Amino acid sequence: MRAVLLPLLLLSGAALAEQAPPGASTCLGCHSATRAAPAIPTLRGREAADIAAAMREFREGRRPATLMDRLAKGFSEEESQAIAAWVVR
């Protein structure tokens, strides 16, 4: 039974990663639920609209940052919204 379930679990994880918009999976490298620090908040429990708004503020230089301002400039508003929706799934 385990021999059947393990490949299915791995496949479902791979399928989720494939569905991630470009750039989305890298967010969790710094904003993971278990490794977040005060300077790098977790995204867990946040609304997609709030994340997209923060990305917009970083992109427009209205929110102070050391790295996120540069990263956010690489995404359009639509891409930021898609990333935010994926991160909160």
What's the average model confidence in pLDDT over 53-67? 96
Residue 43 confidence (pLDDT) above 70:
yes
Q: If you average pLDDT over every residue of the chain, what do you get?
A: 82
Share of residues in the chain with pLDDT > 70 (%)? 78
SS3 assignment, position 19: helix
Token reading at 48: 């997609």
Note whether 52 and 81 are within 8 A (CB): yes
Q: Could you tell me the domains of the chain?
A: 21-87 (1.10.760.10)
Give the model confidence (pLDDT) of 2-33 as tens digits: 454 444 444 444 445 558 999 998 888 888 87
Which of the residue ranges 38-42, 65-69, 70-74, 77-81 would you say has the lowest mean pLDDT? Answer: 38-42
- What is the amino acid identity at position 7? P
Share of residues in the chain with pLDDT > 90 (%)? 53
